[in-house]
Structure 1
Amino acid sequence: MSCIGITIYALNCCDFIYIFSYLQKIMLINKSVRKDKILVVDDIFENLLLLETVLESEGYEVSLNEDSKTGLSVVEDWRPDLILLDVMMPELDGYEFTRRIRNNTNLPYIPILLITAHGQSSLVEGLDAGADDFIRKPFDPEELHARVRSLLRLKHTIDERDQMANLREDFVSRFTHDLRTPLVAANRILKLMLEGMFFEVTSEASDVFKTMIGSNEDLLTMVNTLLEVYRHEAGSKSLKLSEFDIQELVREVSQELKHLAEEKGLAMNLEISANNHSLDSIIVGDRIELRRVVTNIIGNAIKFTETGYVNVNLNLNPDIVTIEIQDSGAGISLQEQARLFERFRSGKHQGSGSGLGLYLSRCIIEAHQGSIGVTSEPEQGSKFSINLPRLKAEKIQENLRK
């Protein structure tokens, strides 16, 4: 392994935990101290004055608004930490106000406390609209303070979680970029050395250079995979959906990897089947991401199979497309199968990687509203199954937003 590879491997999980803990402390220290902002919307001015007096006694920054439509604009501009909202108001009642806040994807999460004098039916409608809590008129100031404190704790917890997620994503993005740069540069130099650009290369030195290049390329793949995993986990990974031919993709990947199987003396077969001969093989998805999954699963089957075969089957159905990759390898125990698609859970095979490839494959398939699984027995080979529903792009995007 190259010096760069040794350095990167030395950065273990404990290092990551320490770094993230340190970043979290820095974030909390640098967090500006400010008053919590509360927007109160009620069409009765006397109610506004009463709520202002009660809330300001606890040190909150309070904004009052008698008009619910104007209140929506205040939410956009002022971004309160909590909204106290009367249910019965002219023009725009509390239910519709709440629905518009919840449907506005440009806003962060803002808890909403409904103030009502009506019966249970109105509470149900308000909670269904997206409100977080309610209090009845006439209210007890102590009860109001307790409910406000509870919702503000929820708001702070969610905000801190989101800040840490953004911080982690930014850190991983920068970190992986800083790792990729020296790896790519080192490989360029090593390849020039292998080609004899600087000195005559002996057969022994050639083997050493090839090993170093291979190690760096493995690390580069791991770094890229790590970045993709964190993008999926942070919800910042956007699928580039389009119509494409899944049969063409599976054939393409199988053909590209066939020479690897042949080098190991493995038979590799591809079979296409359809329940209805008139079915086409056009589906909607992110072709690049799905190609990554198919390449990973077939590549693993070849890598961990020493003798026998690797069979790829594409089954086309009206509502779903299934890709099965079956091998005659060593098989996987039930205990390993239970955690195979978890993050950093590599198998016990010799040569198993970082444990990110299958986890990333699961993330990609689930983002397409599909599923991926394995059936296997020790010494009986394994069969990985990828199920992709035939969905329209709009449906996939809608599910992703959820």
Structure 2
Amino acid sequence: MKRGTVNIGLVGRGVVGSGVLDVFEKNLPVLEAKAGTRLRVSWVASRHRRNLPLIGGERPRYTANWRDVVADPAVDIVVELIGGEEPARTLILSALKSGKHVTTANKAVLATHWQEIFSAAQAARGLVYFEAAVGGGIPVIQGVNEGLAANRIERIYGILNGTTNYILTRMAEEGLKFPAALKAAQAAGFAEADPSADIDGIDAAQKLAILASLATTGWVRVADVHREGLTGLDQWDMNFALRRLGLVPKFLGIADIDGDSVFARVHPTLIPENHPFANVRHEYNAFFVHGDAVGDVMFYGKGAGAWPTASAVVSDIMYLARQVAGGMAGRMPYVTFDAQKKLEMADPSTRSARHYLRFSAQDRPGVLASVTQLLSRHEISIASVHQENGVVAESDVVKKAVPIVIVTHAAPEGAVATALKESRRVRGLARRPVHVRIDSLK
């Protein structure tokens, strides 16, 4: 049955929720013209009552209890913007059970409860849209789910986290040390007081899990994503990699997909300085998606912020509103999800990559020979060796060590991990080696 007015209930009035209200207040006539129906923000649920804007000549009703929004039979679309796993999970499931459709910007709840949420959506013939959950204002979800639907997605990789990219940009361009760059990110509003979700790779792993789940029509769990954080990357290594090797550090999420086999990982990576990602700066995000028919497709834009994220949320609302108004919502699922599909997660230790290794050697005979022999025992082939005489990494000044950089040919992850562990027993090495993977991203 066609609807003359689509009623929207907004839950959560933080930075993004306020941005959504601002977009509706500013652009309502344009939104309604594009949606082809009247849009009415009928509810706002928030812990703190503040002045609500006039939208289309009326103010939304206020409540402190999200259940009031879900219980209203007139509400067609529930917008979940409270974040976290609970009560967001319960809210989404309750809304679907009540016959409503949902849009959310919540990557944590989707990545952690993907199977439960989309199984519930199928059972209720409800729709869950989530463009803003990955990449802020970048339309990568629609791109993968709709624009590239004709393709088998074989690889997804990207700069998925604006905070870590901002940190690396400040370190590379201004010579800031990691702690100072992190403080700058916090001062600019790109990092939380507790930045662990960003710098430990949790945020990027959640986003990668969502993209990989979408591409495979199964469920890639966050725990299935191999994850390493950003801490430990030295300013010296960044300068050396660019000056001597033509490589730039980026914090990447990468998923290789071969049928039902998935290898997903998040970690710092050295990439060629002429790759498009090398020029993605500050809080910007970028994604490459490789399809078997289309080849490489790149998405780029601001991955965070009130207005970019609100833009994606409102776009989802408009997609849903068109379907609700036309009486088509829920007849076909938005996400293709097969709960019976069993994905095989590749063992990271068996995968091969090139590696950048910096050993901090005390100035004594035989140390380099010991290191090369150690790598040889594990069948790790050396592509090049670089010893910077008279140039000392800051982390080695106190120990009076000399940096030795070794770049390997492609070598199994497991062999490299074992060799690095054993290197702690090599006499003449002053500290744990620095290890960064190298990827040409081809």
Fold-level match, TM-score > 0.5? Answer: no
Larger Rg: 1
Q: More helix by proportion, 1 or 2?
A: 1
TM-score (norm 2): 0.23
Q: More strand by proportion, 1 or 2?
A: 2
TM-score (norm 1): 0.25
